[in-house]
Amino acid sequence: MENRESCRKKAEELVGRMTVEEAASQLLHQSPAIERLDIPEYNWWSEGLHGVARAGIATVFPQAIGMAAAFDDDFLEKEAEVIATEARAKYNAAKRHGDRDIYKGLTYWSPNINIFRDPRWGRGHETYGEDPVLTGRLGKAFIKGLQQKDEKGYLKIAACAKHFAVHSGPEALRHGFDVTPTEKDLNETYLPAFKEAVRDGEVEAVMTAYNSVFGEPCCANDRLINRILKEEWGFEGHIVSDCWAVKDMHGDHHFTKTPEESAALAVRRGCDLNCGCTYENLIFALNDGLITEEEIRSAAVRVFTTRFLLGMFDADCSYEKIPYCVVNCREHQELAVRAAENSAVLLKNDGILPLDRSKLKSIAVIGPNAYSAKALYGNYNGDSGHFCTNLDGIREAAGDDIRIYYSKGCDIFEEQEDPLAKPGKYLSEAEEIASISDVTILCVGLDADLEGEEGDTGNAFASGDKPDLLLTASQRRLCDRITALGKPLIIVINSGSALDLSAWEDKAGAVLQAWYSGESGGKALAEILFGDISPSGKLPVTFYYNDQKLPEFTDYHMKGRTYKFLEEKPWYPFGYGLSYSEFSYSGLKAETDGEELALTVSLKNTGSFDATEIAEIYIRYEGEAFEKPVHYLADFRSVRLLKGEEACIGFTIKKDSFASFAENGERKLLSGSYTVFAGGSQPDERSLELTHTEPLRVTVTIGEDQKLSVN
């Protein structure tokens, strides 16, 4: 069986046969071949947030934020297994044809487990939302799915947890921005998901962020890399810089003066691999006495240990036999449909949904995201080759007896779509089809050209953060004109983050958040609209009102941010989402041995649809403590029940889940009373207003002896 120790020894032997110049060359993401040692060239840069990305055809799942809305770590692990299988198949095929270009390797720079702390952050849709527990669970599941092992112990592909650490915008400042979080926020919010990825997920790689933390660039941050990641958490894999981030050390942070100093310091501090080209200066740094040969070779050993774990130099790796025919096969396509079904969140429904085919003769489908592949794909995406837009899905599901009218209505952001026409070229068309149709489905939102990564070459308009939480002006005008007609209306939002559409909420019968829903997003949407399935997603982020005063974007203090520290009622809260069915919780029981809390609750589907419910467990400390959360997520479970079916579900809450974080970052178990909530939503005022249901609760006490007891 291959294991890290045996692979490390192989790496040491191979690196020992290299010249120091050859060893240094292997620390660049575009590693050249060393022909005399039978080492082929290798490009470390591959992407797979929600499918193999930027490498041609692949199964495209909903963007990460959409999968977070499913609150289902078991399903996400299956999705990651598919991504890993397709990644191996594409690697095998490319290698057979001598193609070792970018995006075709086995080292995947996913998942992004940063905390989506501010709704304006453009890259937030790459994450699993605003909660550390949800992010940690989903990140670990995704890593486990990617890093399957064969019978000999070889990894199918290697995952990479990014961006370490305390990184969530603003995009325009990231190359020189210094983050100074409180010790409490650092340990309570920003680090837990990475800790879980390393300790429980055994992630093979960690990518450092562009920004600095406490005055040191993340690529050379001694505290983050050495004291926390390696010494405290025991990380043994390799560390890679974000792309061209080492260059920022002298170019933007001004932490070093020259490329040679940046390269040397980054390697010495533990950043083994450079995405970029600054490490081309390592031999100059060696000659100047800024780094030792041993430090260069140690980094090379760590990166080659990963290559050996992937079976790159061994003929007995079973994954070498995975054929190309698995790529975007029917089984994987069907899983993408299920993923999109699970991710959609029904925010409002006055009874207009599900649509009854027998009562409809015509449907107007309007909006810039109605017939848009970009609204399905998000960023860091592949191409399935047969995507199903919202319009495509509705047309197919409606059948031949219902007339489907379509109008783009407006451009997604351009005021004037045609230089020869006045602004609002399609508005009258949209109004006309809405006025003559039985119901209108208005598809609005964003795409990855409007929210995404600063300067990302995959984004045509070098997109970044949002200026506010509103639709673009062109779409606001469209919404005003369509809602003014007073016709039955359903609003569908494709976006990767929170938007505020409250201005039109009262004039719409239903509002559905569909995210960037993947290759089959339109099919899943139509199934939900026509009641073939019931929506089950819950919001993984808070949907604020646009006029709510958010903290400054550059302020990383969590006060006033996310559901845990929010003082005002939001538009829609974290953990909220409607179903076509109804669920009842009863018989909450709690037992403890002093160290763990065992919860059981009866969950019954009392409605008329087979449906999935996400059961949520929250904890609230009733005493006074530091800057405490209002309450916080402790556990969750996705449960599928047939109509009328009842199940007893259990949760085990470890004692550590009751701990609070002091201002110095220390985790403390405070004595006193705690309330544990179980239900289908948060125990907050806004959720109660929307659901008219209070979660069940039980009181737990922690005594001076640090033992749990149930009152």
Q: Which residues are catalytic, by number?
A: 242
Q: How far apart are CA 230 and CA 703, in angstroms?
A: 34
For tokens 């969950």, name the residue.
603
In three-state secondary structure terms, 337 is helix
**Nearest alpha-carbon partner for 682 in 597, 587, 563, 561:** 563
Instruction: Kindly tell me the burial class for residue 512, based on how many C-beta atoms sit within 10 Å of its own C-beta (0-12, 13-18, 19 or more).
Output: buried
Burial readout 442-478 (b: 16 or more C-beta within 10 A, e: otherwise): bbbbbbbebbbbbebeebeeebbbbeebebbebbbbb
DSSP-assigned beta bridge partners for residue 30: 43
- The neighbouring-strand residues paired with 405 are 364
Q: Which two tokens stand for residue 332?
A: 């994987």
Q: State residue 220 phi and psi, 5-degree precision.
A: -140, 35
Contact 592, 708 (CB under 8 A): yes
**Euclidean distance between the first and final Cα of the chain, in Å?**
50
Please list the residues that pair with 511 across neighbouring strands.
348, 491
- Look up residue 308 and give its two tokens: 């050996």
Is 471 in a helix, a strand, or coil?
Answer: coil
Concatenated DSSP letters of 82-147: HHHHHHHHHHHHHHHTT---TT-SSBB---B------TT-GGGGGS--S-HHHHHHHHHHHHHHHT
Contact 134, 122 (CB under 8 A): no
Residue with tokens 């909220």: 576
Hey, what are 119's tokens?
Answer: 């709704």
Which distant-in-sequence residues (6+ apart) come within 8 Å of 198 by Cβ?
Answer: 161, 206, 229, 233, 234, 235
CA-to-CA dists, residue 35 to 29, 299, 306, angstroms? 18, 21, 20
DSSP 8-state class, residue 588: E
Q: Give long-range contacts, CB 8 A cutoff, 24+ apart: 600-603.
A: 600/648, 600/649, 600/650, 600/651, 601/648, 601/649, 601/651, 601/678, 601/696, 602/646, 602/647, 602/648, 603/639, 603/641, 603/646, 603/647, 603/648, 603/649
Structure tokens belonging to residue 202: 């055994």
Question: What is the distance between the alpha carbons of residues 654 and 650, in angstroms, rounded to a whole number?
Answer: 13
Q: What angle do CA 122, 690, 475 make, to 5 degrees?
A: 40
CA distance 364 to 174: 43
Residues 6+ apart with CB under 8 A from 546: 468, 469, 470, 500
- What Å distances lie between residue 457 and 28, 156, 379, 380, 462, CA to CA? 20, 28, 11, 10, 7
What is the helix (H) or strand (E) element at residue 364, kind and residue range? strand 362-366
From residue 352, how far is each of 359, 519, 548, 708 by CA, in Å?
Answer: 12, 26, 30, 47
Rounded alpha-carbon distances, angstroms, from residue 222 to 219, 269, 271, 705: 9, 6, 10, 37
